[in-house]
Chain A
Amino acid sequence: MLNHPQLDLVFQALADPTRRDMVERLGRGPQSVSELAAPLDMSLPAVLQHLQVLEASGLVSSEKTGRVRMCRIEPKVMETAESWFTKRRAVWERRFDRLGELLAEETESERRTTRRKR
């Protein structure tokens, strides 16, 4: 269950709001690529790129039936992502995002203070 390289890919995949939105909609049932793309304000190649990232993570699989490519969620990978370990890691990821924001704010306010002193 704890295949870390795959978990890393899952995290990368879910780090993007567009991909989270795609996964959320696929959670309600399989959709074709064009259905997935319809509400998104981006080109089809861009959507396909997002889909590639999702497929690489294992969260989503797709299959061509006739002229339509259908996408669906892979429940097993979703369950792995749901584990407590994953959430614990997510908590630290959030913390380090915040730390990054704080460090950037500090640098910015110092820059302003230095400029004012001149």
Chain B
Amino acid sequence: MSQRNSQHDTFTIERRYRVAPARVFDAFADPAKKDRWFGCVEGWVVAEHTLDFRVGGREVWRGGPPGGTQHRNDTVYHDIVPNERIVWSYTMRLGDRPISVSLTTMELHPDGSGTRMRFVEQGVYLDDYDGAADRVRGTNDLLDSLDRALRAER
């Protein structure tokens, strides 16, 4: 785990929602709404979530399993075009260790009466946070972790 390394990755997610771009945008801009989809982790305690949604504004999300390691996201908003685009970057920390730094672009395009969302995240992932060394390689472990990751945000 003491080995230093940095890996880079970009991924794109496209989604279509049946509401107008303004509605989707609102779910990112309104802190109460964002709370309902962004950080609802089953069994986790959200210690802090503050959102200052404007260019240069910051967002802090802090939480974790009760008694477990705290996760912390520090976000800065770089570009906001209402109902069209948001660009932000964020550092993710586990305890006091930064595990990734990402640049994220979210675009909203009208699509009939709905919205096509395009989300691109470019990131650097630090020091093999996942700990390949102490990872037991087994397909069941994979499914568990994938399942946890999928369920974690429920």
Contact = CB atoms under 8 A, between A and B. Distances in A.
Interface of A: 2, 4, 7, 14, 20, 23-24, 26-28, 73, 75, 78-79, 81-96, 98-104, 106-107
Contact of B9 (A85, A95, A106): A85
B36 A107 contact: no
Given A93-B13, A103-B17, A104-B18, A27 B152 contact: no
Contacts of B36: 98, 102
* Interface size grouping (class) on chain B: 35 or more
B37 A88 contact: no
Interface of B: 7, 9, 11, 13, 15, 17-19, 23-24, 27, 33, 36-38, 40, 100, 117, 119, 121, 123, 125, 128-130, 135, 137-143, 145-147, 149-154
Chain B interface helix/strand/loop/mixed = mixed
A83 B11 CA distance: 13
Nearest to A28: B140
Given A88-B100, A98-B153, A99-B37, A27 B140 contact: yes
